[in-house]
Structure 1
C-alpha cells in the first residue's frame, strides 16, 4: 500500500478526536451530522455512545424572592445550602447507516438525541424556588441524500435531507418550603410545583454542499440545518403539593392545589457548519470546523393555562411558569490532527473552543476541550474507536431576571467525556 493511499485512508479521522467534545452551548448535545454521506464504502453502519461528565458547581447562591431578613427566605431556613451541583452526567447515543445508490447517489438514515438538559441541584439549596430538578430530552430521526459529480480534480456534492424530532421533559421547583408548612394545618403538603409530561413534535431540514479530492484526503463541506418550530408544547402544571388556602392572588387561587394543563411555544435554532480536512503529509491529516448556532432565538419559554377563559379564570393569558434561558448565539471552533500508525491503528487529537451561550442567567460559560482518540481495525470491514476528552468550564455569574429569583456564582470547573464507537463497512 503506497503512502498516498495511506494518506487518503485518513479521511474518517476527523470525527475520531472530536466525538467526545459534545458539551456545547445552549441545549445542544449531539447536534446534527451528515458526515456518513462522505464514507466511501457502499454500505456503512455507525453506532456510538458518549458519556459526558460536566462538573459544574454553583457557589454563593442567594434567594432574592423575599427580603434577606424575612424568615421565609430560603437562605435563612436550616439545611438550605448556598452551593449546589449545576449539572448532571448524561449519555449521548447515536446510530446511523449509509448506502450507495448507483455511482453518484449516497443516502443515510440516523437516530440521535441532538438536544437535552439534565440538572438536579436538589430541593434544599437557596435557588430551589427557581429549580430543584430539570430534564429536557429529544429524539431525532433523520434521512439525507447527496448527489456527487466530477468537478476539476475532485468531486462536488449536493446534500439535502430532513428529520422528524420529538422533545419532552419536566421541571420541579419549591413553591413553598415544606419547613414553613411544618406545624401548620398544611404540614402534609410537599410545597412543590412540577411541570410534567412536557412534549411536542416537529421537523426540519438540511441543505449543503461538499467538495472532495479523495487522492489527498481533502474534503470541504458547508451544511445548513433549519430551525425547528414547536408551536404546541403541552404539559401539566401540578401544584397539588401547594395548599390553595395560602394563595395570595386570584390566579394563584385558580392553580394552587390543582393540576392545570398548560401550553407553550419555542423555536430551536438553525445552524451553519463549515468542515475542512486535508492530508498534510504521508499518514497525517489536518482537520477543522467552525459552527454557528442561532441560540439567541431561545430567550424564554412561557407556559400558560391551556383552556378557555371560563376554565382558566384569572390565570387566562398569564405566564404560570417559565423556562428562562436568555441565550446568545453559539460558536464552536475545532482544530486537530490525525495520524495512521499502520494498517490497523490510528490516532487523533483535537482542541475545541465553544463560546458560552448564557448571558444574564445560567451557567453556560466558554468551554475549552482537548480530545484524544484511537481507532483499531481488526479487518477491512470493522473499526473500533475509543475516545476521551477533558475540558475547562470558565467562571461567571447568574442574576435574577423575569421569574427567576436566585443570584449565584460559578468558578472554573471541569468536564470530561468518554466515547466508544463501532463502525462496520462493506
Structure 2
C-alpha cells in the first residue's frame, strides 16, 4: 500500500477515471482527496464502505455535521449536493420520515404496472430508428438512452411534455463537474424555477402522479408532512435520480455488449439473461462514480489505524469499490455476464439504498432486450476507446454513443 499525506486531486473531467480509481485503491481503504476544492476521504474498500454506509457514526446532513458547510455552499460547485432538503441529505428520523412518504411511488405493484408503458415507449423509439436510412450513424445515447427514462419519470412525476427538455438541460448541469461555482449557481436557479413551475401547475391541475400526491400531503399539513423546501427538493431528487442515472446505465450496457461480442452471444444463446447484463454493467460501469457527501459524526478509526476526524467529509467511491480485487478477484476489470458473485454498490447500501433501483433495472433490461432483438447486427460506429466520457467525475457515461443499426455492410 502506498502511503500519502497530500490529498489526491480528482479530475473534474473524468477523462481517465479507471486509472484514478486504481490510484485510490492503491492508497488503502481510504485516502484524502480534493473534489473541486473541498477535501474529503474517498473510501474505495467495499467492506469499509458498506460498514460506513450503515453506521450511525456517518451522516448525510451537512448542516448538522459538516463545519465547512457555510463556506462550501458559497464557493463549491457541488453545493447543491449538500444543500438540498430531501431524503438524500437527511439523517436519522428525518430520513425515515421523508423516505416513508416517497416509498409508495416505487412499490412493487406500481413498478410492475409500468412494464407495458416501458415496452411501448421503447417500441416507439425503435420504430423511429428503424425508419432511418440504411447505413446512417445513430447516437443511441441521444435517441434511446435519453428519451426512455425521461418518458418514464415524466409519467411517474407528471412532468408535462413541454417541460421535459428544460428539465433535461438543468439536470445534466447538476452532474457536470466542469462548471464553475457561478455556472452551477445559475443552473441551480434555473432548476428551481422549473420545479416551482411544475409545483404551481400541479396545484392548479393535480393529476394521478407522485408530484400531485406529494403536494396534497404538503398542502394538507399532515403530521410529519413535507415543508415547502422539502417538497421542491424531493421532486428534484426523484426527477434527477430517475433520469440521469438510467441514461448512463443504458449507454454503458450497450457499449459493453457491443465491445464484447462473446458476452452478447451468451445472452442470445440463452446462457445468460438480460438481467445478468444489467447487473454486470452496474458493477463494472456504475451510473455514478463518486457520490458526495457523507460526514463523520464522531472520530472514525479505520482498519489500518488511521482516523477520520469528526466533522470531516466522506466520499463514497462506488466505481472504485465495485472493481476492488478483494471483492471480485483478478477478473474485477472484466465484463462477464456469467459472473457468479454479482454484488455491487451502484445503488448504494443501507438506509439510503436507491428506492428507484427496481424501476431502473426494468427500464435497462427492457431497452436491451428489445434493441438487440430489433437490430441483431447492431455495431459501434467508432472503436470503444474513442468514445468520449461526459465532463464529470460523478456521472459515468459518454458524450455520444454512435452506432450503425444494421452493420457496415448491411
Normalising by the residue count of structure 1, what TM-score does the alignment of the two structures yield?
0.23
More helix by share: 2
Q: Which has the higher contact order (CA 8 A, sep 6+)?
A: 2
Normalising by the residue count of structure 2, what TM-score does the alignment of the two structures yield?
0.24
Largest Rg, 1 or 2: 1
